[in-house]
Amino acid sequence: MAEETKKSGPIAETFKTVFWALFIAGIIRTILFQPFWIPSGSMKSTMLIGDFLFVNKYAYGYSWASCPTIRGMDFCGFAKDWDGRVWEGEPKRGDIIVFKHPSSEADFIKRLIGLPGDKIQVNDGVLSINGVAVPRVANGVFSETFEPQGPMRNRPRCGNGTVGEGAACNKALFTETLPEGKSFQTLDIGLGQGDNTPVFSVPAGKYFFMGDNRDNSTDSRYRQPNGVGFVPASYLVGRADSVIFSSAGTSILAFWTWRGDRFFKSLN
């Protein structure tokens, strides 16, 4: 009679459980979805500081940028010279996309405005695509409290002048409609550096991005290394489709600061 196989001890079982949990989480994060926390206000009012979401990584296929960087370890850094994508999918104008900054390789999130071959310009705050002004309709005011926000404790910029701590910080709210018919909201605090630009001709294989908070966004209107400039296709990480939950405090773990109206909120 064969001897019975000895059962693993509790320490070994715990080790195996943790190993497989981390392995599965790593596969999901690398191939399917990657968590992302919004640290700045460049995409207000569409996204707020403290929004937590999962980025759809299979929407555009995979490149070196699809690999997560964990504690400074860049697992796919060896492939940076390859500018292709596996199972490539074409981004659509108006998509909200996480991408690697072409210079710093930090994660950025902005709205895709210019496709390869497009000519993009901003005149007096009005966006033009291929020589045609994008329709822009006034839609009231976006109001928030003038106070430190998120872990970076940055205060918002206001369109209603200098306001005191705890006062209403207002910005003009507009609805823009892209040529393909997608509409979304943008903010405006008045004419600034990015409200009058030259014509940007988007090269083949690259994209032009802008933040919805137009006067508080470092995006493709500004040159690298401080600005974003044109973003190569291989630097795209994935598409943001919805907010899972949102924290108005300094940490996503502070559940008492979660915003009740932003659970599973679709992004437009």
**pLDDT tens series, the chain, 268 aa:** 444 444 556 666 655 554 444 444 445 455 566 888 999 999 999 999 999 999 998 889 888 887 766 555 666 666 677 777 778 789 999 999 999 999 998 999 999 999 999 999 999 999 999 999 999 999 999 999 999 998 888 999 999 988 999 999 999 999 999 999 999 999 999 888 899 999 999 999 999 999 999 999 999 999 999 899 999 999 999 999 999 999 998 888 888 999 999 999 999 8
List active site positions: 42, 110
pLDDT at 20: 47
Model pLDDT, residue 25: 47
CB 118 within 8 A of CB 208: yes
What's the pLDDT at 31? 56
Contact partners, residue 103, CB within 8 Å, separation at least 6 = 224, 225
Q: Do 166 and 147 touch, CB atoms closer than 8 A?
A: yes
Which pLDDT score, from 0 to 100, does residue 252 have? Answer: 80
- Residue linked to tokens 């709210």: 173
Report the distance separating Cα 212 and Cα 221, nearest Å.
Answer: 13
- Distance in angstroms (rounded) separating the CA atoms of residues 25 and 16: 14
Domain ranges of the chain: 16-266
* Paired tokens of 5: 């196989």
pTM confidence score: 0.85
Assigned fold of 16-266: Umud Fragment, subunit A (2.10.109)
